Each structure stands twice: as C-alpha cells, then as structure tokens.
Structure 1
Amino acid sequence: MFPLGCLTLKLKVPRGMSPSGCLRLRLKAPRRMSPSGCLRLRLKAPRGMSPSGCLTLKLKVPWGMSPSGCLTLKLKVPQGMSPSGCLRLRLKALWRMSPSGCLRLRLKAPRGMSPSGCLTLKLKVPRGMSPSGCLTLKLKVPRGMSPSGCLTLKLKVPWGMSPSGCLRLRLKAPRRMSPSGCLRLRLKAPRGMSPSGCLTLKLKVPRGMSPSGCLRLRLKAPRRMSPSGCLTLKLKVPRGMSLLGCLSLKLKAPQRMLPSGCLRLRLKALSAMAPSGCLTLKLKT
C-alpha cells in the first residue's frame, strides 16, 4: 500500500475546538497491506478532553490475516478514568487461526482494582474442540483480589468451530474489584470467522472507573475481511468524558487496497470539540 505501510493524518481544527488546534491520527496497515502485520490508530485529542490528550488503539490482526496469529488491543484512556491511564487486551487466536492452539487475554486493570494491576488468562484449546462449542475456565487472580482467587469464564468459539460465529467471555470479578462484581467482554469474529464480518467488544468496567460502567468497541473489517469494505469503530466513553458519550471513526477501505488513492474518515467529535459534533476528512494519497 505504502513503502512504510502507514498513514499519518493531521487535522487542523478551529482554535476554539482545542488548545493545540489539531487532531492527529496514525494508521498502520495490516500484513496484507504492510509487512508489519498490524494496524495502529492513535487519536490525539484536544487537551480539554483528557489530561493525557490521547486515546490509543493497537490492533494486531489474527492468524490468516498475519503470520503472528494474534490480536492485540491497547486502549489508552484519560488519566481521570484510571490511575494507570490504560487498558490492555491481548487475544491470541484459537486453533485453526494459529498453530499454538491457545487464547490469551491480558487485562491491565487500574491500580485501584488490584495490587498487581493486571489479570492474565491462558486458554489451551483442544484440537477437536467440543460439540457444545464452549469452554469454562478458571483464572487465578492475585490473592488480594478475592478469597477464592479465581474467575469463571464461558467462551463460545468462532465460526468454523461452531455455528454461532462469535466468542463470548464473561468475567465475574471479585467484589473487591468493583461494586457491580463483573467485567464483560464480547468478541464477535471477523468475516473469515463469521458471516457478520465484524468484531465487537463490550467491556463492563468497575463503577469507580466510569459513571456509565462500560466501554464498547465495534470494529467492522475491511473489504478482504468483509464485503462491506469499511472499518467502523465506535467507542462509548464514560459520561464524564463527553456529553455525547462516544467517538465514532469510519474508515472506508479502498477496493483492492486503494485504486481510488484515498481514505475517508468520519470523526464524530465530542460536544466540547464542535457544535455540529462531527468532522469529515478525505485524504488523497
């Protein structure tokens, strides 16, 4: 696609919208689009939006899309949302997606959630899987988190392994971790894994972390991953972060990688950013 396999976007906005006067986006393409095999999106937000001034998402594509066979999501959140300022998720693809045959999820939790600040689970998937298409796991968590020291999850396997075409993870967290006592993550697989062609993540976070108590991510895959040919990301942010409570990015993927030579991004801006609530950017490469 490009020699370096990445695009850097800088959008100048009216001064009244942000002190810095600009928004920056960096998009690094997947392996079939670049040798690095990963997609990176960095959104530098106006200072009024968060102390850190940025949200970061890193998506490493799964096996079949890249030789690495893993999916990595890194979300840098405003400092007011958590002391650590970030949530990290790593998902290593299931059997038929990677030779290792295991699923790894790492959630780096806010410091107030646990002494160690992280939860790690490793799921070794049997080659034959199971008729029911689901597995139950125990996750040993730091001792200070709960007396039982374990979490229970239910995993519904993706399309090709079961008719459902999705992964569901329910993480029942110790009460000391949050008043609600649970974290929920739903992962709907891309086109190669399910007919829907989209990836959906819902993360229910502790109440002390956000008033709304959840973060939602929806990722619709590009043309080679879905017929729609577009990438859609919706991030529902805590209410204290914005009046609208969401940021939307739509990236229309070029047919056969970029014959038109352009990318279109629609950024639904926070109320404090623009009265209209949206920005549209067309980049000719």
Structure 2
Amino acid sequence: MPPPSDGTRHLAPAKVNLTLHVTGRRADGRHDLDSLVAFADLGDVLHVSPGDALTIDGPFANGVPVDDRNLIRRALAAAGTTRAVDLDKRLPHPAGLGGGSSDAAAALRAVGADLGLDALMALGADLPVCLAAAPSRMRGAGERVDPVALPRLHAVLVNPGVAVPTGAVFAALEGHGPPMPDVLPAGDPLDWLGGMRNDLQAPATGVASVIADVLAALTAAGARLSRMSGSGATCFGLFPDPAAAEAAARRLDYPGWWARACTLNPSAP
C-alpha cells in the first residue's frame, strides 16, 4: 500500500492490468475475471483535510464530477465520515487505469476506513484491489483479491486520448477463455506474461482502432511486451530498465497522446 508523503497528501496509484482473462458470465450479467494487477509509482494525488468540500484540479480535471456521482464522495459517505479533498487529477479518464476507484480507495485509506467487502463492491468492482494497492491476483467480479509476489517492472503507459466505453467493449466480446495458471513460475516474468492475455484487447481495438497503433508504437520503441490495460484505451509496455522506459516515453510523446514512464511494484526488490 503506498504511504502518503505527509499527513495530508495521498497517492492514488494507477492500476495496471498486466493480464485480464475473462472466464465466464454470471446470471446477473457480470463477468468473471482472472487478472494480475500491478500498481505504478504515479497517479492522482489527494490532499485531505478537515471539512467536506471536494475540489478538482490538474491536467485531467475536466469532466470529473464534484457532486455525489464522484466515487470519493460516495466512499466517504459509505464510511460515515467527511473530509475536504482536493484532487489533483493527473491520470487520463476513462483510461483502464482504475483512476476513480483508486481515488476513492486513497480517500478511504486517508481516513482509516474499514469497509466490508459488500460495501466496497457496491462502490465498484475495482475498489477491493485498489484499496490493497499492491500486486494482486483479482478474480470473480473483483471480490476475490489475493496478494502475489511480483518483481519491480519498468513500464511506459500510453493513452491515445480516446475514451473507450466499457459497455461497448464487453458487448463486443466473443466468448470466454481459461483462467490463468495457479502458479507464477520462477524466472523472467516477461516470458510468462507474454503467454497470458487481455481478452478485452481485441474488442476494444474494434471500438477504437488507435489502440493497435499504440501497441505497435510501444513495440517499435523497444518494449519487450506491450498490452492494453483493463478495458482500455491505455496500453503499457515493459522495458528492461528505467533509462529505456524514459527514452521510450519521450519518443511516444505524440500530439494528443499521454505517455509516462513509471515503475510498477515500486517497493519490490
């Protein structure tokens, strides 16, 4: 879990789905997932203080609600408390990076709230894993979160500035696949990750063809593995070291694109 840098500043880290296997669909319409999730050393920043106002600024503040539709407000209300929150919105949205859920989880961590699983799932399927904010295997509809050991990974996140509606992506999904293997093998994790999937990548690319351009650009910039995160449109590339990731992020700073180098699992050895 990422610690705040001081008593009022809290990081809401970007959530990256390294894998996302869609394994079935329930009678209530929700999909069963099996996903390996990592968190970055960058994200939105919340400044929390006494009060009850919610203010939003930052490069991606436009379009983020400040009323009761905002997950921060809903999470604090579920916890039975109030705080004044200034959200520095640094992540694009919607982007497949769990931004709103991570913001709400950061607010809950800031107030020390201990909501039950049902309350978290009522807020959103990503809330349990975002509250953990640590490498995890997320299963079911998001309610089953188990910690996993992952090494530090050097990544570039790229969003092409296109919103991809999650509903449209799932509507275009054809069939389901098997879950991940139960054991993450020893050795180079990129070899293992390369054999896994994001089952939403193909339908999302059908909705927004620019995703294919982003993946190709990451590969051309030297990524050992490139894949879409979540339901898109943000994609990630994994690189051998921080310098290679930084160089690739600079190369991919195209007009209209958001590209950032980062470290996933920053507390890992």
TM-score (ref. length: structure 1): 0.26
Q: Could you say which structure has the higher strand fraction? A: 1
Q: Could you say which structure has the higher helix fraction? A: 2
Higher relative contact order (CA 8 A, sep 6+): 2
TM-score (ref. length: structure 2): 0.27
